[in-house]
Amino acid sequence: MMLTLRTLAMLAVSILPGCQAAIDLLVHSSGGNATSPIAYGLMHEDINNSGDGGIYAELIRNRAFQGSEKFPSSLEAWTPFNGASALSLKKLCTPLSAALPYSLNVAPKSATTQQGKIGIVNSGFWGMDVRAEQKYSGSFYVKGGYEGHFTASLQSVITGEVFAAVKVEGVSSGETGGWVRREFTIVPGKTAGNSNNTFAITFDAAGVKNGSLNFNLISLFPPTYKNRPNGLRIDIAEALAELKPKFLRFPGGNMLEGDTLTTYWKWNETIGPLKDRPGMAGVWQYQLTTGLGLVEYMEWCDDMNLEPIVAVWDGLALDGNYVPQSQIGEVVQYALDELEFLTGDAATTKWGAVRASLGHPRPWKIKYVEIGNEDWLAGRPTAYDTYKQYRFQAFLTAFNDKYPNIQVIASPSVFDGMVIPAPGAGDYHPYLTPDKFVAAFDKFDNLSKQNLTLIGEAAATHPNGGIGWDGNLMANPWWGGSVGEAIFLIGAERNSEKVIGATYAPGLRNLNRWQWGMTLLQHAADPALTTRSTSWHVWRLLGSHVLTQTLPVTAQSGGIRPLYYVAGKSEGTHVFKAAVYNATQPVEISLRFEGMTAKGQTAALTVLRGPQDPYGVNDPFTQINVVNETTLAVAADEGGVFRFSLPHLSVAVLELAGN
C-alpha cells in the first residue's frame, strides 16, 4: 500500500507524546568542516571462514590439499564415493606445481578386478547451495591413465538425489604421465531443498591404468558477484554493498601479521594462477587458500567502487618477534614492491608488468597505505618500541619519497600512546562495552587536525560491566551494543575532518566455524541463513548518508545526553543523525535548519528501534529481525520546525532535501 507523504506526516506526529519539554536544536547554515570523503567502509581478513567458505565463492573445501607446519595437508572434507576406493595424500615426484606439492590419490580397492563407479566426494564448506538453472563452473587437474569419462555431479546427502551430472573427458594415452586440466559446467535442473549437498567426481574403476589416479585443485564456483572469475559470493557481497561502503581495508587484521616472522601474509604468494598459490597458515585456526588474494581484493574494490586501504606487512609477528633495524630495509622494499605491483606502469616497471600479465594492464590508484596492524599489541612493550623507534619511520620515509600522494597510516593511534610523525595518520580499534562507546562520544573533540585517524576496526564486544577478553565476550552483536557503536560513530562524524573513516570488524562469520562472534553478517552454505546483525542495520543507516560537510548545532534547550547528534550536508540534502541512550522516556526534539523556514516542508525521518530486551540479537536460526526500521515523512511547523520524538535505544536519520 502506498502512503502519501501527508498520511506519513500524520503518523509521525501521532507518535509524539506531546507533553514534555523538547530538546530544541538549531542547525546553522555554515561554520562546520568539509568532511572525509570516504566515511564508512569495510575491513576484511580471513577470520571465521569469512574468506574461504565466506565471501570467496569457491564451493570446494580443501580443494588443493594446501598445508603448513601449523596445519599439515589433510583429506579434510573429502571421502571416497560409495566407500569404494582408497584415498590418500601423495607427494609425487611430479607435483602439480611447487606451490601445491600434495595431491589426492584415488585407487580402486582391488587394483585388478574392481568394476563400477569410484571417485571422490567433497562436502563443501559444510554443505553446498544447489540452484536450478545456475551455471556452476568447475575444473580439476588429473594425472594418470584413464580410459573412459569422468562424471562431475551435485547430489543430496540425505536422499542421494542427483541434481546435476555432466560428463568430463578422460585422459587419453597421449596425455598420460603429465597433469591435465579439465573444465566443465554443471547446470542443475532442480533446486535442492536444503544445502546438505556434496560434489563428486566419479569414474569407472575398470578404466584406470596403472592402479590409481591423482587429483588436485578441484574447484567449483557458482555465479559470482559482477561475474568475476574466481570471485565473490553474490548474496554476501550484496549484503555488504547494501551498507554503501566507501573503502576496503585489507588484508587485516591479524592475518596480515601472521603467527611468526616467516608466516605473515605474503602478497606475492597470493597472486597469479591458483596452482601457483601455496596458501598460508591462517592465524584463526585454519589453513587459508589465498584464492582471495591481492588482485581479488582489488577487484572487490573495483566492483563495489571502494577506496582500497592497503595494509602492508611491517616486520611484526603475532608471537611478538620483530625484524631488527639492520634488516628493516628489506621489509620496506617488499612493501614498495607490492605498491609497484598495484600502481606501477606496465611497460616500465617490473611489478607493473607482472600485474599486466595477470590481466590488469591499467595501474590501480592507491591513496592509503597502512603500516602493519596493531603494532601496539603483539610483543609489547618491546616490539611496540621498535615500531616507534625505527619501523614506522622507515616506511614513512620510503613511502613519502616514492609516493608523496599516498596517505601513510600508522597501525596504532594517538590513543595508543603513539606520537605519529607527520604526515602520518593513525588507526584506532575500539572493541568496547556500549557504555564505553557512549563515553567515547567526545573522544575526537580535542584532537588536532594533525592527528588524522582511521577507525580501522570497531565493535561492541562486551556487555556493560564486562570483564575483559577472558570474560563475558558476547556471541553476537546485540541491540544495546549496536546503539553504543552508533553514538561513538556520531561523535566521530562531528569531528570527521580528523577521521579518515570507520569500519566495523570483523565483517563476516561462517556459522559452522568461527572464532569471533560479533560480526556484521553471519552466513552458512545456505543463503537463507545469511543474517544481517543489529550492527549491520545501524552501520547501514549511518553509512548511507555520508556527510560532505558538518554544520554546527546549537541547543536552545536541552543538550547532548541522552540524545547524541550530528548535522551536516550530504549531496543536495541536509542531514541530522541522532541516537538515544539511557533515556527514561522518549526524547522530544524540535529541530530547525537555519534558512529553511518554510512551513509544511517535509523531511524523511528513518528510525531504528530495537527489541524490549537490549540484549536482543538477530539470530540466523530464527530469522527474526529484532531491528524495526520505519521511515516517515515529517512536515515542518511554523518557522520550519520539525517535531518528533525518539525512544530510548534508537538510532535515527532525518533528511531534508535542499542546500
> DSSP states of 400-463 as a string?
HHH-TTSEEEESS-GGGT--PPTT-BEE---EE-HHHHHHGGGTTTT--TTS-EEE---EE-S-
CA–CA dist 50, 60 (Å, integer): 15
What residues contact 181, with CB distance under 8 A and at least 6 apart?
139, 140, 141
Reference 536, options 108, 238, 179; nearest CA is 238
In the complex, least distance from residue 291 CB atom to ligand AHR, rounded to whole angstroms: 20
Beta strand 521-523 with 508-510 is parallel
Q: Which is nearer to ligand AHR, 340 or 374 (CB)?
A: 374
Q: Which is nearer to ligand AHR, 494 or 523 (CB)?
A: 523
**How many C-beta atoms surround the C-beta of residue 91 within 10 A?**
10
Dihedral sign from CA coordinates of 495, 496, 497, 500: positive
In the complex, least distance from residue 8 CB atom to ligand AHR, rounded to whole angstroms: 40
In the complex, least distance from residue 257 CB atom to ligand AHR, rounded to whole angstroms: 8
In the complex, least distance from residue 627 CB atom to ligand AHR, rounded to whole angstroms: 22
In the complex, least distance from residue 482 CB atom to ligand AHR, rounded to whole angstroms: 16
Under 8 Å between Cβ of 458 and 487: no
Q: From the centroid of its chain, how far is CA 654?
A: 28
Q: Which is nearer to ligand AHR, 47 or 205 (CB)?
A: 47
Q: Which is nearer to ligand AHR, 66 or 373 (CB)?
A: 373
Under 8 Å between Cβ of 628 and 609: yes
The H or E element that residue 12 is part of is helix 5-14
Q: Which is nearer to ligand AHR, 139 or 270 (CB)?
A: 270
Query: From residue 500, how far is each of 491, 497, 575, 593 by CA, in Å?
Result: 14, 8, 20, 27
CA–CA dist 339, 91 (Å, integer): 35
In the complex, least distance from residue 400 CB atom to ligand AHR, rounded to whole angstroms: 25
Q: Which is nearer to ligand AHR, 354 or 455 (CB)?
A: 455
Enter the C-alpha cell of residue 152: 562431475
Query: What is the DSSP secondary structure assignment for residue 205, as one 8-state letter?
Result: G
Q: From the centroid of its chain, how far is CA 392?
A: 26
Q: Which is nearer to ligand AHR, 370 or 588 (CB)?
A: 370
Q: Which is nearer to ligand AHR, 65 or 428 (CB)?
A: 428
Beta strand 78-80 with 508-510 is unpaired
In the complex, least distance from residue 628 CB atom to ligand AHR, rounded to whole angstroms: 28
Under 8 Å between Cβ of 135 and 194: no
Beta strands in 298-373 (DSSP E): 307-312, 368-371
Site residues for ligand AHR per CB under 6 A? 45, 47, 252-254, 373-374, 429, 457, 505-506, 516
CA dihedral 439, 445, 449, 452 (to 10 degrees): 10
Q: Which is nearer to ligand AHR, 143 or 509 (CB)?
A: 509
CA–CA dist 594, 588 (Å, integer): 20
Q: Which is nearer to ligand AHR, 505 or 656 (CB)?
A: 505
Q: Which is nearer to ligand AHR, 469 or 621 (CB)?
A: 469
In the complex, least distance from residue 445 CB atom to ligand AHR, rounded to whole angstroms: 25
In the complex, least distance from residue 457 CB atom to ligand AHR, rounded to whole angstroms: 5
Query: What is the DSSP secondary structure assignment for residue 188, as one 8-state letter?
Result: -
Enter the C-alpha cell of residue 254: 591479524
Enter the C-alpha cell of residue 372: 602493519
Coil, helix or strand at residue 314 = coil
In the complex, least distance from residue 31 CB atom to ligand AHR, rounded to whole angstroms: 37
The H or E element that residue 236 is part of is helix 234-241
In the complex, least distance from residue 265 CB atom to ligand AHR, rounded to whole angstroms: 11
CA–CA dist 576, 646 (Å, integer): 13
In the complex, least distance from residue 546 CB atom to ligand AHR, rounded to whole angstroms: 24
The H or E element that residue 487 is part of is helix 479-494
In the complex, least distance from residue 252 CB atom to ligand AHR, rounded to whole angstroms: 5
Q: Which is nearer to ligand AHR, 516 or 615 (CB)?
A: 516
CA–CA dist 537, 628 (Å, integer): 9
Q: Which is nearer to ligand AHR, 391 or 592 (CB)?
A: 391
Under 8 Å between Cβ of 642 and 591: yes
Reference 36, options 576, 565, 495; nearest CA is 495
In the complex, least distance from residue 429 CB atom to ligand AHR, rounded to whole angstroms: 6
- The strand pairing partners of 100, in sequence order, are none
Q: Which is nearer to ligand AHR, 222 or 253 (CB)?
A: 253
